[in-house]
Chains A and B, each alone.
Chain A
Protein backbone atom coordinates (compact mmCIF):
# COMPACT_ATOMS: atom_id res chain seq x y z
CA UNK A 1 0.00 0.00 0.00
CA UNK A 2 2.80 2.45 0.88
CA UNK A 3 4.62 1.52 -2.33
CA UNK A 4 1.43 1.97 -4.32
CA UNK A 5 0.86 5.43 -2.82
CA UNK A 6 4.40 6.47 -3.70
CA UNK A 7 3.95 5.09 -7.20
CA UNK A 8 0.67 6.99 -7.59
CA UNK A 9 2.28 10.24 -6.50
CA UNK A 10 5.04 9.79 -9.07
CA UNK A 11 2.55 8.97 -11.80
CA UNK A 12 0.29 11.91 -10.94
CA UNK A 13 3.23 14.32 -11.11
CA UNK A 14 4.38 12.88 -14.42
CA UNK A 15 1.02 12.34 -16.16
CA UNK A 16 -0.48 15.64 -15.10
CA UNK A 17 2.72 17.62 -15.77
CA UNK A 18 2.93 18.99 -12.24
CA UNK A 19 6.17 20.87 -12.71
CA UNK A 20 7.85 21.97 -9.46
CA UNK A 21 5.80 19.55 -7.31
CA UNK A 22 7.74 16.77 -5.55
CA UNK A 23 6.49 13.46 -4.16
CA UNK A 24 7.23 14.69 -0.62
CA UNK A 25 4.86 17.61 -1.09
CA UNK A 26 1.83 15.40 -1.73
CA UNK A 27 0.39 14.08 1.53
CA UNK A 28 -1.57 10.80 1.44
CA UNK A 29 -4.75 12.56 2.54
CA UNK A 30 -4.25 15.88 0.75
CA UNK A 31 -7.21 16.74 -1.50
CA UNK A 32 -6.17 16.41 -5.14
CA UNK A 33 -8.78 18.82 -6.46
CA UNK A 34 -9.80 22.31 -5.43
CA UNK A 35 -7.63 23.72 -2.66
CA UNK A 36 -5.15 20.83 -2.74
CA UNK A 37 -3.10 20.25 -5.87
CA UNK A 38 -5.45 22.47 -7.86
CA UNK A 39 -6.32 19.80 -10.40
CA UNK A 40 -9.22 20.49 -12.80
CA UNK A 41 -11.80 18.64 -14.90
CA UNK A 42 -9.28 17.66 -17.60
CA UNK A 43 -6.99 16.21 -14.91
CA UNK A 44 -9.90 14.15 -13.59
CA UNK A 45 -10.43 12.68 -17.06
CA UNK A 46 -6.70 12.05 -17.33
CA UNK A 47 -6.76 10.10 -14.04
CA UNK A 48 -9.53 7.89 -15.49
CA UNK A 49 -7.23 7.12 -18.44
CA UNK A 50 -4.37 6.42 -16.00
CA UNK A 51 -6.46 3.87 -14.06
CA UNK A 52 -7.25 2.10 -17.32
CA UNK A 53 -3.78 2.26 -18.86
CA UNK A 54 -1.62 1.48 -15.83
CA UNK A 55 -3.94 -0.63 -13.66
CA UNK A 56 -6.41 -2.12 -16.14
CA UNK A 57 -9.34 -0.65 -14.25
CA UNK A 58 -12.19 0.86 -16.27
CA UNK A 59 -14.60 3.13 -14.42
CA UNK A 60 -18.15 2.04 -15.25
CA UNK A 61 -19.47 5.47 -14.35
CA UNK A 62 -17.20 8.52 -14.59
CA UNK A 63 -19.13 10.08 -11.70
CA UNK A 64 -17.50 7.49 -9.40
CA UNK A 65 -14.27 9.40 -9.96
CA UNK A 66 -15.22 12.10 -7.50
CA UNK A 67 -14.80 9.82 -4.48
CA UNK A 68 -11.99 7.70 -5.90
CA UNK A 69 -9.81 10.69 -6.80
CA UNK A 70 -10.32 12.52 -3.52
CA UNK A 71 -6.75 11.82 -2.38
CA UNK A 72 -3.83 9.50 -3.05
CA UNK A 73 -5.07 7.36 -0.15
CA UNK A 74 -8.56 6.87 -1.62
CA UNK A 75 -7.07 6.10 -5.02
CA UNK A 76 -4.72 3.49 -3.57
CA UNK A 77 -7.55 1.91 -1.56
CA UNK A 78 -9.74 1.70 -4.68
CA UNK A 79 -6.98 0.13 -6.79
CA UNK A 80 -6.17 -2.37 -4.01
CA UNK A 81 -9.81 -3.36 -3.62
CA UNK A 82 -10.23 -3.84 -7.37
CA UNK A 83 -7.11 -5.98 -7.60
CA UNK A 84 -8.17 -8.11 -4.63
CA UNK A 85 -11.61 -8.53 -6.16
Chain B
Protein backbone atom coordinates (compact mmCIF):
# COMPACT_ATOMS: atom_id res chain seq x y z
CA UNK B 1 0.00 0.00 0.00
CA UNK B 2 2.77 2.43 0.95
CA UNK B 3 4.44 2.29 -2.47
CA UNK B 4 1.37 2.40 -4.68
CA UNK B 5 1.18 6.18 -4.94
CA UNK B 6 3.65 8.95 -5.55
CA UNK B 7 4.23 12.59 -4.75
CA UNK B 8 4.25 14.48 -8.01
CA UNK B 9 4.99 18.03 -6.91
CA UNK B 10 5.24 20.06 -3.71
CA UNK B 11 5.58 23.65 -2.58
CA UNK B 12 6.22 25.66 0.56
CA UNK B 13 5.51 29.22 1.63
CA UNK B 14 7.02 30.47 4.87
CA UNK B 15 9.26 33.27 6.22
CA UNK B 16 9.25 35.39 3.06
CA UNK B 17 10.16 32.49 0.78
CA UNK B 18 8.15 30.56 -1.78
CA UNK B 19 9.57 27.38 -3.24
CA UNK B 20 8.31 24.77 -5.66
CA UNK B 21 9.79 21.28 -5.84
CA UNK B 22 12.69 22.49 -3.72
CA UNK B 23 13.57 25.48 -5.95
CA UNK B 24 13.07 29.06 -4.77
CA UNK B 25 10.51 30.87 -6.97
CA UNK B 26 9.95 34.04 -4.95
CA UNK B 27 11.64 35.78 -2.05
CA UNK B 28 10.89 39.01 -0.24
CA UNK B 29 12.28 40.85 2.77
CA UNK B 30 8.76 42.11 3.53
CA UNK B 31 7.91 41.03 7.08
CA UNK B 32 4.20 41.83 6.98
CA UNK B 33 2.11 39.03 5.45
CA UNK B 34 -0.40 41.15 3.51
CA UNK B 35 2.35 43.05 1.68
CA UNK B 36 4.37 39.87 1.12
CA UNK B 37 1.50 37.88 -0.36
CA UNK B 38 0.33 40.79 -2.52
CA UNK B 39 3.76 41.13 -4.11
CA UNK B 40 4.01 37.37 -4.54
CA UNK B 41 0.56 37.24 -6.15
CA UNK B 42 1.50 39.94 -8.66
CA UNK B 43 5.03 38.71 -9.33
CA UNK B 44 3.89 35.14 -9.93
CA UNK B 45 1.23 36.40 -12.34
CA UNK B 46 -1.71 34.79 -10.53
CA UNK B 47 -5.14 36.10 -11.54
CA UNK B 48 -8.24 35.60 -9.38
CA UNK B 49 -10.88 38.31 -9.22
CA UNK B 50 -11.69 37.72 -5.53
CA UNK B 51 -8.08 37.65 -4.34
CA UNK B 52 -8.13 40.95 -2.45
CA UNK B 53 -11.45 40.15 -0.79
CA UNK B 54 -10.07 37.00 0.80
CA UNK B 55 -8.71 36.59 4.31
CA UNK B 56 -5.04 35.80 4.97
CA UNK B 57 -5.53 32.04 5.25
CA UNK B 58 -7.28 31.89 1.87
CA UNK B 59 -4.63 34.11 0.22
CA UNK B 60 -1.89 31.84 1.55
CA UNK B 61 -3.68 28.66 0.44
CA UNK B 62 -4.65 30.03 -2.96
CA UNK B 63 -1.11 31.14 -3.87
CA UNK B 64 0.34 27.82 -2.66
CA UNK B 65 -2.23 25.78 -4.60
CA UNK B 66 -1.75 27.89 -7.71
CA UNK B 67 1.93 26.97 -7.86
CA UNK B 68 0.92 23.32 -8.23
CA UNK B 69 -2.34 23.58 -10.15
CA UNK B 70 -1.70 26.26 -12.75
CA UNK B 71 -0.54 23.74 -15.35
CA UNK B 72 -2.46 20.75 -13.97
CA UNK B 73 -4.92 19.22 -16.46
CA UNK B 74 -6.42 16.72 -13.97
CA UNK B 75 -9.65 18.12 -12.50
CA UNK B 76 -10.64 15.06 -10.48
CA UNK B 77 -8.43 16.20 -7.61
CA UNK B 78 -9.50 16.05 -3.97
CA UNK B 79 -8.31 18.64 -1.43
CA UNK B 80 -7.20 17.47 2.03
CA UNK B 81 -5.86 20.34 4.12
CA UNK B 82 -4.86 20.71 7.73
CA UNK B 83 -3.64 23.39 10.12
CA UNK B 84 -3.45 24.37 13.77
CA UNK B 85 -5.20 27.74 14.00
CA UNK B 86 -8.29 26.89 11.95
CA UNK B 87 -9.66 30.33 10.94
CA UNK B 88 -8.79 31.97 14.29
CA UNK B 89 -7.11 35.02 12.72
CA UNK B 90 -10.41 35.95 11.05
CA UNK B 91 -12.45 34.74 14.04
CA UNK B 92 -10.67 37.35 16.19
CA UNK B 93 -11.55 40.04 13.64
CA UNK B 94 -15.21 39.08 13.69
CA UNK B 95 -15.19 38.98 17.50
CA UNK B 96 -13.75 42.52 17.59
CA UNK B 97 -16.65 43.75 15.47
CA UNK B 98 -19.23 42.45 17.97
CA UNK B 99 -17.42 42.83 21.31
CA UNK B 100 -18.46 46.42 22.02
CA UNK B 101 -22.25 47.05 21.90
CA UNK B 102 -21.63 50.63 20.66
CA UNK B 103 -19.40 49.52 17.81
CA UNK B 104 -21.43 46.43 16.94
CA UNK B 105 -21.10 46.11 13.16
CA UNK B 106 -20.48 42.48 12.18
CA UNK B 107 -19.28 42.25 8.59
CA UNK B 108 -20.65 39.49 6.34
CA UNK B 109 -17.46 39.64 4.27
CA UNK B 110 -15.42 38.85 7.38
CA UNK B 111 -17.85 36.32 8.88
CA UNK B 112 -17.87 34.13 5.77
CA UNK B 113 -14.14 33.47 6.27
CA UNK B 114 -14.59 32.24 9.86
CA UNK B 115 -14.41 28.66 8.59
CA UNK B 116 -11.10 27.01 7.61
CA UNK B 117 -12.55 25.14 4.61
CA UNK B 118 -13.44 28.38 2.79
CA UNK B 119 -9.90 28.49 1.39
CA UNK B 120 -10.55 25.13 -0.30
CA UNK B 121 -13.76 26.59 -1.74
CA UNK B 122 -11.76 29.48 -3.26
CA UNK B 123 -9.24 27.06 -4.79
CA UNK B 124 -12.10 24.91 -6.14
CA UNK B 125 -13.69 27.97 -7.78
CA UNK B 126 -10.45 29.19 -9.35
CA UNK B 127 -9.43 25.78 -10.72
CA UNK B 128 -12.94 24.43 -11.44
CA UNK B 129 -12.56 21.47 -9.09
CA UNK B 130 -15.88 19.75 -8.32
CA UNK B 131 -14.11 17.44 -5.94
CA UNK B 132 -13.98 16.42 -2.32
CA UNK B 133 -12.72 18.85 0.38
CA UNK B 134 -11.74 17.90 3.95
CA UNK B 135 -10.14 20.17 6.52
CA UNK B 136 -8.45 18.67 9.60
CA UNK B 137 -7.03 20.46 12.63
CA UNK B 138 -3.76 19.26 14.21
CA UNK B 139 -1.42 21.03 16.61
CA UNK B 140 1.51 20.57 14.18
CA UNK B 141 2.12 19.25 10.67
CA UNK B 142 1.38 15.51 10.88
CA UNK B 143 1.92 13.22 7.91
CA UNK B 144 0.21 10.21 9.51
CA UNK B 145 -3.47 10.97 9.11
CA UNK B 146 -3.03 12.82 5.80
CA UNK B 147 -1.20 9.77 4.45
CA UNK B 148 -3.89 7.24 5.40
CA UNK B 149 -6.73 9.50 4.32
CA UNK B 150 -5.17 10.29 0.94
CA UNK B 151 -4.50 6.61 0.25
CA UNK B 152 -8.12 5.88 1.07
CA UNK B 153 -9.44 8.52 -1.36
CA UNK B 154 -7.25 7.21 -4.18
CA UNK B 155 -7.92 3.53 -3.43
CA UNK B 156 -11.69 4.12 -3.32
CA UNK B 157 -11.43 6.07 -6.61
CA UNK B 158 -12.85 9.19 -4.99
CA UNK B 159 -10.21 11.15 -6.90
CA UNK B 160 -7.46 10.66 -9.48
CA UNK B 161 -5.08 12.91 -7.55
CA UNK B 162 -5.07 14.53 -4.11
CA UNK B 163 -3.73 17.97 -3.23
CA UNK B 164 -2.90 17.80 0.43
CA UNK B 165 -0.88 19.39 3.17
CA UNK B 166 -0.76 22.22 5.67
CA UNK B 167 -1.90 25.86 5.50
CA UNK B 168 -1.64 27.77 8.77
CA UNK B 169 -1.99 31.47 9.53
CA UNK B 170 -1.90 32.75 13.09
CA UNK B 171 -0.76 36.03 14.71
CA UNK B 172 0.94 37.13 11.47
CA UNK B 173 2.93 33.88 11.11
CA UNK B 174 2.32 31.80 8.04
CA UNK B 175 3.29 28.37 6.81
CA UNK B 176 2.01 26.47 3.80
CA UNK B 177 3.21 23.09 2.55
CA UNK B 178 1.16 21.46 -0.18
CA UNK B 179 1.88 18.40 -2.29
CA UNK B 180 0.12 16.47 -5.04
CA UNK B 181 -0.30 12.72 -4.64
CA UNK B 182 -0.90 10.69 -7.81
CA UNK B 183 -0.29 7.27 -9.29
CA UNK B 184 3.00 8.41 -10.80
CA UNK B 185 5.54 10.91 -9.57
CA UNK B 186 9.05 11.65 -8.39
CA UNK B 187 8.84 10.54 -4.78
CA UNK B 188 7.24 7.53 -3.13
CA UNK B 189 4.14 8.49 -1.15
CA UNK B 190 5.17 7.53 2.37
CA UNK B 191 5.05 9.19 5.78
CA UNK B 192 8.86 9.41 5.74
CA UNK B 193 9.06 11.15 2.38
CA UNK B 194 6.25 13.57 3.27
CA UNK B 195 8.05 14.54 6.48
CA UNK B 196 11.36 14.82 4.63
CA UNK B 197 9.91 17.16 1.98
CA UNK B 198 8.34 19.29 4.71
CA UNK B 199 11.72 19.64 6.42
CA UNK B 200 13.82 20.43 3.33
CA UNK B 201 13.05 24.09 2.78
Q: Which residues of A contact B (CB under 8 A)?
A: 16-19, 38, 42-43, 45-46, 49, 52-53
Query: Which B residues form the contact surface with A (CB < 8 A)?
Result: 49, 51-53, 105-109, 112
- Report the minimum CB–CB distance from B68 to chain A (whole Å): 24
Q: Are A46 and B52 in contact (CB under 8 A)?
A: no
Tell me the number of A-to-B contacts counted with CB atoms below 8 Å.
25
Indicate if the CB atoms of B53 and A53 lie closer than 8 Å: no
Give bound CA distance, A19 to B42, whole Å.
12
> Closest approach, in angstroms, between the C-beta of B152 and any C-beta of chain A?
34
Contact status A42-B105, CB under 8 Å: no
CB distance from B183 to the nearest CB of A (A): 38
Chain A at the B interface: SS class: helix
Question: Which residues of chain A are near B112, meaning CB under 8 Å?
Answer: 42
CA distance A18 to B106 in the complex (A): 20
Q: Please give me the 3 A-B residue pairs with the lowest Cβ-Cβ distance, nearest first.
A: A19-B52, A45-B108, A17-B52
Task: Beyond the given A17-B53, A18-B52, A42-B108, please list 4 additional residue pairs across the A-B interface where CB-CB is below 8 A.
Answer: A19-B52, A42-B53, A42-B109, A53-B105
- B110, closest chain A residue (CB): A46
Choose among A18, A19, A38, A46 the residue that contacts B108 (Cβ–Cβ < 8 A): A46
* Chain A neighbourhood of B49, CB < 8 A: 38
In Å, the complex CA distance between A38 and B50 comes to: 10
CA separation between A45 and B51, bound complex, in Å? 19
C-alpha gap A43/B106 in the complex (Å):
14
Query: Which of A38, A45, A52 has most B Cβ within 10 Å?
Result: A45
In the complex where A17-B52, A17-B53, A19-B52 touch, is A43 in contact with B105 (Cβ < 8 A)? no
Sampled A-B contacts (23; CB under 8 Å) = A16-B53, A16-B109, A17-B52, A17-B53, A17-B109, A18-B52, A19-B51, A19-B52, A42-B53, A42-B109, A42-B112, A43-B109, A45-B108, A45-B109, A46-B107, A46-B108, A46-B109, A49-B105, A49-B106, A49-B107, A49-B108, A52-B105, A53-B105
